[in-house]
Structure 1
Amino acid sequence: MDRPRYAAYEAVAAVHRDDAYANLVLPAILREEGLTGRDAAFATELTYGTLRHLGTLDAILTSAAGRDVQRIDPPVRDALRIGAYQLLHTRVPAHAAVSSTVDLVRAVGQGATGFANAVLREVAGRDADEWVSRLAPLMETDPIGHLALAYSHPQWIVRAFSEALGGDLGETTRLLIEDNVRPPVHLCARPGLADPVELADEVGGAPGAFSPYAVYLGGGAPGDLAAVADGRAHVQDEGSQLVADALATASVDGADGRWLDLCAGPGGKSGLLGALAAQRGARLTAVEVAEHRARLVTQATQGLPVTVLNTDGRLVGAEPKLPEEHFDRVLVDAPCTGLGSLRRRPESRWRRQPSDLPALTRLQRELLVAGLRAVRPGGVVAYVTCSPHTVETHVTVTEAARRSGMSVDFVDARPLLPAGMPGLGDGPTVQLWPHRHGTDAMFIAVLRRG
């Protein structure tokens, strides 16, 4: 058995069978299989590439098999997906992709080798562009349907992206393309603990384009880096760094020593805010409702002036350690669909549904209202979400501000981001984008309580 391909199969199967996350199960599988170097890189490429292109691969396999892909035995189906990805998106020779996948099917799906061989040879008869031309709706008559199949995203997500981009289909296309490209690993050099230029030299990376703390990692496992192990740096998308720093940059009236992260898990933004607070003589209270995520926050903020509370962030005023009108700066990094980080978690695009939105947006409003209650008059609240969906961004913010019954003013977030950043829009809110800024699609609105 080809070990890299089998490792990729095990990871893809775990994602579909167990609702696992590839970034969590794949490292363990690679260790179990003893894969390193080029073999580990190949298994990683097959895993993430298959998950990113899943929608298009399934449409092609359905056509090639003459039956709906969902009617194929799950182990065989996942093996065929990996084989089709090799045929259409890698330089693996067709005969090697077919034969290795047939061997994989022999191991995981008894009696299906002939079927697998026939399906894959049909897939190999056309390249990816030819399959899209054959199967996708016409761009002129159904642009959303065409983009969804061509770039492997559910139609409702393509539509949400298009709406957030003002209906610009060209820009929507660029975003979808970027979602299917493996993103670089971003490190955050914790202020006061690491200099980003020196850290870049230490890890063989490069300073980030926008965040003053960002380092782009060229390769390797970030968890193995000494700077990460000793708490001088942590893994964090540059967009997350920018929105956390924007909160710390916003001016406040009066005192500035009490900061609050209302939805802190797993602790990336708390780590950055805690380091900034340490430089400025402030303290951060980090709230996380899930016990295991609260433990991660504690680990992420060790040695920093951070107090972690394992409680519900909506309990402002009812929780003694979360008094109303107490904090000078509040971050509400609300749970969301995660549509802004699909390039990092490609399986999420197939799990999320429009039916998820009502419960999430209700929670987002409740948390933002709690954040507005927690901040004192003259203080600021940053509402942040890793989704560009308009109901999770503009609608949530305007509704929460209205329902809070408080005097709230929007602060223009654009000057709170580094000078010279392109494509920040008309304000006062800011939406970051993978195709414009190289970050996850982070949204930020900054509100000052009157």
Structure 2
Amino acid sequence: MSPEGRGERPRRQHRPNRAHRSNGAHRSNRTHRPDRSRLTAFEVIRRVAESDAYANLVLPGLLRERDITARDAAFATELTYGTLRLQGRYDAILAHCTRGRALEDLDPEVLDLLRLGAHQLLGMRVPVHAAVSQTVALTRHVVGPAPTGMVNAVLRTVAETPLQTWLDQLAAEAEDDVARLSVAESHPVWVTRAMRQSLLSELEAAPGRSSDITGELATLLAADNRPPRVALVARPGLIEPDDLADQVEAQTRQRPARGAYSPCAVVPGAGDPGRLPAVEAGAAGVQDEGSQLVALALAAAELEGRDERWLDLCAGPGGKAALLGALAAGRDCRLLANEVAPHRAGLVRGSTAAVPAGTVEVRIGDGRSLGAEQPGEFDRVLVDAPCTGLGALRRRPESRWRRSPADLATLGSLQRDLLTSALEAVRVGGVVAYVTCSPHVAETRLVVEDTLRRSGGAQLLDASEVTRTVAVSDPDLTGPYVQLWPHRHGTDAMFLALLRRTA
């Protein structure tokens, strides 16, 4: 029995640090009741697995509902996201500790409990006795007593070996660099191969870049496992970036940084963005700098002729539409925001509500048919195409386990149809921006090149040159495409191609 179980004062070296005391790390094993933070993390992970929910949408609501705040909320957040991000790594380690029992033979709830325990042991500064005893208590609470002995034994086996030793062992077992990096940085092998191919295609376009693809790939995958910084967008004409920074400073008592690339970006570093007056009013919003840049680049691209009507072909949930709408209002232009899903169209209306009345019209319809219905009517068109989301794995870590190579065929056909429709909808001399939050070549340059060959009557512009004109510092892009990266730019891996219709 532990010193806590005997009621003795624990030795100093075994005391949990203050960040974890309120999460049950100091509680007696006699209660067997899990603390709320661990229980909340478990419930989020189960919802992700059972109903395809997104953790970043489920977790905040549960924290508010249960009034979990401050350190407890931070603990639950790290436990949830860290376990999801590093699931592949932990599964490889756990497979060595289950005494020959395959992980797929375990009940899904028990496997998730083991992953949560492994992250506490190997990814967080939780003492061994606290991580094991609290995970066992959580197991008893949500599953029952039967698996508690196995959970205890497996986690104690995990704890016997330091993380780096585990990683060295897994690396020695890997068949090649891709497999080694996949397990070490917890990405499916097919995703790692896709990232490597995208880096290689960039190298072909810019031979002067470093040719250490394996080293850069490792850096990229590691960046995917770090939580992204929150960036705010000050929507032009609705609020100035300095005024938004003043609101952040009033909330956090710290002057926020400005964006590294977007002139509209403010990086708060702390605080609750949702409670800022400008965000509540819709004059500002939470938006990754990469997302801001691609919208700004479309608005800055040189046109031949008029500049009056803009189109966002796949507008939901509305972040880019709100930024484009604010820019359009400043130029006396109009934006049609099209969205096929009614509930997402409602989000677009909410996102653009602060834009001056009459600037943005929200339409519910299939973007694939809009070009035929309104041919040649628009001067600027954004195609923010549905994709695998591999560029936003920092933000939605569960996506890496939810997607598969089979998705590429369905999405690729949709992406080509949407881009074709956009080229029909734009007038001669107008510009189309094709955007994805994925660096996969099958969703980026191959879509653009195939559509150009099939449709004719359009030319590829140098999107990197246009992006440099709007960026506040040089993002070091190779062109003619823009590919942003979390490890180079600190943004999501956004892709941008600009096309001008010529006939």
Q: TM-score range by the shorter chain?
A: over 0.9
Flag the structure with larger Rg. 2
Which structure 2 residues correspond to residues 5-404 of structure 1 after superposition, within 5 A? 5-66=38-99, 67-110=101-144, 111-137=146-172, 142-166=176-200, 168-204=213-249, 205-304=256-355, 305-319=359-373, 323-404=374-455
Task: Report the equivalent of 1:410.
Answer: 460
TM-score, normalising length: structure 2: 0.86
Q: Secondary structure at the match of 1:84?
A: helix
The equivalent residue for 2:22 is none
Q: CA deviation at 1:419?
A: 5.8
Contact 1:264 1:333 in 2 (8 A): yes
CA distance in 1, matches of 2:67, 2:139: 22
Q: Secondary structure of the equivalent of 1:192?
A: coil
Report Cα offsets for 1:321-340 as digits up to 9, x if no partner.
xx101100000110000000
User: Structure 2: how far apart are the matches of 1:137 and 1:444?
Assistant: 38
- Flag structure 1 segments of 5+ consecutive residues without an equivalent: none
Query: Which runs of at least 4 in structure 1 moved beyond 3 Å after TM superposition?
Result: 136-139
Displacement of 1:317:
4.7
Alignment partners' CA distance in 1, 2:437 and 2:132:
39
Q: What per-residue deviation string (whole Å, max 9, x for no partner) do you get for residues 173-208 of structure 1? A: 110000000111111110111111221231133211
- Corresponding residue of 1:441: 493
Residue identity opposite 1:151 in structure 2: E
Aligned mates of 2:50, 2:150 — CA distance in 1: 22
Structure 2 unaligned residues grouped into runs of 5+ = 1-33, 201-211, 250-255
Q: Which one is further off, 14-23 or 41-50?
A: 14-23
- Post-superposition shift, 1:358? 0.6
8 A Cα contact 1:257 1:283, kept in partner: yes
Matched-pair contact (CA < 8 Å) for 1:137–1:143 = no
**SS of residue paired to 2:285:** strand
Say whether the 8 Å CA contact 2:261–2:475 is kept in structure 1.
Answer: no
SS in 2 for 1:314: helix
Instruction: Report the CA distance between 1:308 and its aligned residue.
Output: 0.6
Structure-2 separation of matches of 1:420 and 1:223: 28
Mapped partners of 1:10, 1:245: distance in 2: 39
**How far is the alpha carbon of 1:422 from its aligned partner?**
3.5
SS across alignment from 2:353: coil
> How many correspondences in the alignment?
444
Bigger mean CA offset, 66-75 vs 9-18: 66-75
Code of the residue aligned with 1:185 in structure 2: it is V
Q: Is the 8 A contact 1:227 1:233 kept in 2?
A: yes
In the alignment, residue 141 of structure 2 is paired with which amino acid? A
Partner AA of 2:488 in structure 1: R
Q: Secondary structure at the match of 2:266?
A: strand
Identity of aligned residues (%): 58
**8 Å contact from structure 2 (residues 483, 493) kept in 1:** yes
Q: What TM-score do the two structures reach when normalised by structure 1?
A: 0.96
Q: Equivalents in 2 of 1:218, 1:375: separation in Å?
A: 40
Structure 1 residue 221, shift from structure 2 partner: 3.0
Q: Note the aligned Cα RMSD (angstroms).
A: 1.3
What amino acid maps onto 2:166 in structure 1? Answer: W
Q: Deviations over 1:4-25 (max 9, x none)?
A: 1111111111111222110111
CA distance in 2, matches of 1:317, 1:344: 32
Instruction: Give the deviation of 1:138 after TM superposition.
Output: 5.6
